[in-house]
Amino acid sequence: ASGPAASGIQDIAFATGHYSFDLAHLAEKQGIDVNKYYIGIGQEKMSLPAEDEDIVTMGAAAAQRIIDRNGTDGIRTLLFATESGIDQSKSAGVYVHGLLDLPREVRTIETKMACYGGIGALQMALGIVARNPEEKVLVIAADVARYDLETSGEPTQGAAAVAFLVQADPDILAIEPAQGVYTLDVQDFWRPNYRNTALVDGKFSVGAYLDALVGAWHDYRAHGGVDFDDIDWFCYHQPFTKMAVKAHVRLTEEAGTPLEKADAAAALAPTFGYNQQLGNSYTASIFLGFLALLDSDQEIPGERVGFFSYGSGAVSEFFVGVIQPGYRDHLRVQEHLGILDAREPIGYDQYRALHPGTFVEAQENFTTERRTRSPFRFEGVEEGSRLY
Ligand code: HMG
C-alpha cells in the first residue's frame, strides 16, 4: 500500500534590507587584513535594513511573491519564525497577514528558538499538511542579526527574510520523514529583552554547534535516516559560511569518510552564494543556503539534500529532502540576483549611523524617513503601536 503523499516545499523566495556593507570597510577601519573576513570566515558583505524596514517589511516582501504566484487557496496557517521579534505579544505574522490582505480563516503564529525557529516552523507545517493534505502552510523566516560594535560577532551581522509554501506533492523539495533532533541547555548566544544586540561566546558557540551536529546526526541515523553516502548535498545553517565548512569536516569524520577543509569547502560551495553576500540572517540562513543551491548552475533533480539547522541555546535538527523533477521551472533565479544587486552600498560612517546601539530605548512616538524600495514600509510608532 502506498503511504501518504510526500510533502515539502512548493515555492520559495527571499527579500533583504536596503543597504549592503562590504566587510572591506570594516577591516580597513580595524586596520586588519580583509582576508580574515573574505577567506577566514568566508563572508564578503552584510545586508542592513533601512530605518523604515524590519522583519515585517522583509517578510511581507518575500511572502507577497509566493502569494502572487500561488494564490491563497488552501493556506490556513501562517508561521513566522524570528528571533528579532518586534513585540513581546503579537506575532509579526499578524502584521504580514494584514499587509498581504490574507483571508481571515488563517491561524497565525510566531515561533522562536534562535536560528532553529525556521526549521521548527517547517516541521510544524509538515505536521499540519500530513494531517490534512488539502491544507497549505505559508512559512516566513526573517531576522536582523546584530552584535555590538567592536566585538567578534560584528562581521557576522546581516538581514534577510525567506518565505516558502509547504504543501503535499510539492514541485521543489519533498521532505523525507526521518528526523534527528538534539537539545542541550547551553549559554553560547542569547539576547535579553533589554538589548538590541546579541551576547555571544564566539569560540564556545562554534564548539556547541559542532557537538549539536554530531548529536543530531546520530539521532537521525537511529531513527531511520539514510546513509551518509546516499546524501548528495549538504545544506547547513551558515552564521558565516566557514562555519558550514567546519561542520562538514566534522560530519565526514563522524561518518568515517573524513574530508580535508578544502574538499569540504568545494562540496558546499554551491550553497554559499547568498549568505556570503547577506551575512547571518539567523532563521532564514539555512533556507538561503538551500536557495543558493537551487539557483546555482547544478542540475540536481532526484538528488538528496541533507539539512542541518542549529539554534543557539541550543536546539538542532538533521533531516533530508529530495529535489523534485522539473524543479527548475519553479525557481526565481533572476529575481533573486536582482534583489542582491539592487542594494545600496554604504561606507563605514553610514553603517555606524545605522547601528541601533546596545540597549532598547523606550520611544512611544516617532516617524521614519522613506528609504525602502520594498512595497512595504515601517512608518514609525504612534502611542506604542507600530505602523506599516
Ligand atoms: P574571531 O575569533 O575574531 O576569528 O571570530 P578567528 O581569530 O577565529 O579567525 C577566524 C578564521 O579566520 C580563522 O580560521 C583564522 O585562521 C582565519 P579557522 O581557524 O576558523 O579556520 N584568518 C584568516 N584567514 C585568511 N587570511 C587572514 C586571516 N586572519 C584570520 N588574514 C568567531 C570568529 C566565530 C568567534 C566570530 O565570528 C563570532 O563571534 N561570530 C558570532 C558567533 C557565531 O557566529 N557562532 C557560530 C556558531 S553559533 C550559531 O551558528 C548560532 C547563531 O547563528 C545564532 C542563533 O542560533 O540564533 C550565531
Tell how far the Cα of 32 is from the centroid of ligand 1, in angstroms: 15
Q: Which atom of ligand 1 is nearest to the CA of 189?
A: 54
Note the pLDDT tens digit of each residue in 67-105.
999 999 999 999 999 999 999 999 999 999 999 999 999
pLDDT at residue 1, rounded to an integer: 40
Q: Which atom of ligand 1 is nearest to the CA of 312?
A: 56
Parallel, antiparallel or unpaired: strands 19-22 and 344-346: parallel
Q: Annotation-wise, does 196 bind a ligand?
A: no
pLDDT at residue 3, rounded to an integer: 54
Question: 314: cis peptide before it, omega within 30°?
Answer: yes
237 included as an active-site residue: yes
pLDDT at residue 4, rounded to an integer: 57
Which whole-number Å values give the CA distances from 328 to 12, 217, 293, 299, 340, in the listed order? 12, 29, 11, 8, 20
Please, what's the b/e burial string for 162-199 (b: 16 or more CB within 10 A of its CB; e: otherwise)? bbbbbbbebbbbbbeebbbbbbeebebbebeeebbbbb
336 included as an active-site residue: no
pLDDT at residue 8, rounded to an integer: 98
375: its cell numbers: 512595497
Please state, in angstroms and rounded to a whole number, the distance separating the CA atoms of residues 213 and 284: 18
Q: Annotation-wise, does 33 bind a ligand?
A: yes
* Low-confidence spans in the chain with pLDDT less than 70: 1-5
Does the CA dihedral 53-81-169-230 come out positive or negative? positive
pLDDT at residue 126, rounded to an integer: 98
pLDDT at residue 266, rounded to an integer: 98
223 included as an active-site residue: no
The response to whether residue 37 sits with its C-beta less than 6 Å from ligand 1 reads no
Pocket of ligand 1, candidates 43, 205, 235, 275: which has the most ligand atoms within 8 Å of its Cβ, to mutate? 205
The response to whether residue 42 sits with its C-beta less than 6 Å from ligand 1 reads no
The response to whether residue 72 sits with its C-beta less than 6 Å from ligand 1 reads no
